[in-house]
Amino acid sequence: MLPFFNQEFGNPNSRTHSYGTRAAEAVEEARGHVAKILGASPSDIIFTSGSTEAINLTVFGIARAYREKGNHLITVATEHKAVLYSHRELKSEGFEITVLPVDKDGRISPDDVAKAITPKTILVSVMMANNEIGTIHPIQEIGKICKEKEVLFQCDAVQAVGKMHVDVEKCGIDLVPLSAHKIYGPKGVGALYIRKKNPRIRIQPMIFGGGHEKGMRSGTMNVTGIVGFGEACRLIDQELDREMETLKKMREKFMRTLEKSVSDVQWNGHPTDRIHNNISMSFSGVDGTALVNAVKDDIAISTGATCTSVTVDPSHVLTAIGLSPDLANATLRMGIGRFNTDADLDFAADVIAHAVNKLRKVTRVDMKLAEL
């Protein structure tokens, strides 16, 4: 990215000089890398400020462009709030929204999707892998149902790319929002994959102006961010299989280590159909706030979704899989990253075990005192 901060000042849309041409070449190279990790064609990718923007563009853009076909959209209770709140907004504009439930592992049933589709349905949005519990949905089956019923299918792959293989053709996906910073790219840049054929998708733009990105997203492009995003995708393409294997082994070892020193750990999310960087664990008999306070100086930990951790409400994902508000609040979420080692995970297990055992002892003493 560095040359595009301090040497290459060109605007990719100003191709009348070599500065602009070089910037445009860099953007196109990045577009190719992004397309490759989705099994897509570069011309199907448009750059955005991140997946929140890409999701809003899909939900509002499809709702407006296909209004004459219908006014019904389907999504899932455990989606990211960018998806849930854009649907909520559409509801206030008179659209009909179906929010499907998940099972205790956080998976949606393809049959529920099939049953929910009506002649008025224009969009189904189901994420590939969940950001809080790591569960992977049966995307290929849902894609097939949507194709058969001729309904567009958006699949948020923000957490999936870099952690599993994603293929828009194999899965029958029409729209894919992405964020660079979930795959070690810079923050504030992302993309939307929009299928161009079988079917060709129409989207009503949200941002109007100079007609950048085929008129779908006007505004001068964030060249530096896009270059970083492209490079992050190139590395994924090289490293994915090896990283997936390493993450799986590290996660399993962490679980075994923690279970040796703490009883009753509840591991959230699907045991096998999952991405392996994500660890979500709940501890009964512990106060959630006290638990976070006890570990947060030693390890980087989240309680609810990172994006909403300023609020204290129990996570909508954990309550959707059936956790009580108390257990949801006594839940820690940890991500294993590319640069973590086994020693880091042993340390994390040690810190968590120490905190949970100490807090459980306090709770037991409190309960005994209450009985007196």
CB distance 192 to 176 below 8 Å: yes
> How many C-beta atoms lie closer than 10 Å to residue 286's C-beta?
25
Q: Which one among 73, 108, 127, 227 touches ligand PLP, defined by CB under 6 A? A: 127
Q: Two tokens at 237?
A: 């393409």
Report the residue number, 10 or 314, with the smaller CB distance to ligand PLP.
314
Which part of the chain contacts ligand PLP (CB under 6 A), choosing from 48-56, 108-116, 134-142, 144-152? 48-56
Confirm or reject binding of residue 156 to ligand PLP (CB under 6 A). yes
Q: Most distant CA pair in the chain: distance in Å?
A: 84
* Contacts with ligand PLP, 232-251, as mask; x by CB under 6 A: --------------------
Confirm or reject binding of residue 159 to ligand PLP (CB under 6 A). yes
CB distance 303 to 333 below 8 Å: yes
Which part of the chain contacts ligand PLP (CB under 6 A), choosing from 50-58, 195-203, 265-273, 280-288? 50-58
Q: Which one among 91, 148, 214, 307 touches ligand PLP, defined by CB under 6 A? A: 307
CA distances from 13 to 33, 53, 135 (A): 20, 21, 40
Confirm or reject binding of residue 146 to ligand PLP (CB under 6 A). no
- 243 vs 277: CA distance, rounded Å: 10
Report the residue number, 22 or 174, with the smaller CB distance to ligand PLP.
174
DSSP state of 315: P
CB distance 140 to 170 below 8 Å: yes
Helix axes of 342-371 and 288-295: crossing angle, nearest 10 degrees: 140
Q: Which helix (H) or strand (E) holds 224?
A: helix 223-261
Q: 146, 171, 233, 307: which is the annotated catalytic residue?
A: 307
In the range 57-96, which residues lie near ligand PLP by CB under 6 A? 80, 82
Report the residue number, 121 or 130, with the smaller CB distance to ligand PLP.
130
Report the residue number, 50 or 106, with the smaller CB distance to ligand PLP.
50
Nearest approach in angstroms of CB 222 to ligand PLP is 13
* Contacts with ligand PLP, 165-204, as mask; x by CB under 6 A: --------------x----------x--------------
Report the residue number, 130 or 257, with the smaller CB distance to ligand PLP.
130
**How far from chain centre, in Å, is Cα 42?**
22
Q: Two tokens at 312?
A: 């204290």
Nearest approach in angstroms of CB 116 to ligand PLP is 21
Confirm or reject binding of residue 50 to ligand PLP (CB under 6 A). yes
β-pair partners for 192: 46, 177
DSSP string, 226-285: HHHHHHHHHHHHHHHHHHHHHHHHHHHHHHHHHHHH-S-EEEPS-SSSB-SSEEEEEETT
Nearest approach in angstroms of CB 52 to ligand PLP is 3
Q: Which one among 136, 152, 158, 327 touches ligand PLP, defined by CB under 6 A? A: 158
CA distances from 25 to 125, 191, 213, 214, 219 (A): 33, 17, 14, 16, 18
Report the residue number, 131 or 329, with the smaller CB distance to ligand PLP.
131
Is residue 171 flagged as an active site residue? no
Of 234, 204, 185, nearest in space to 31 by CA: 234
Q: Please report, as ranges, the residues that interact with ligand PLP according to CB under 6 A.
A: 50-52, 80, 82, 127, 131, 156, 158-159, 179, 190, 306-307
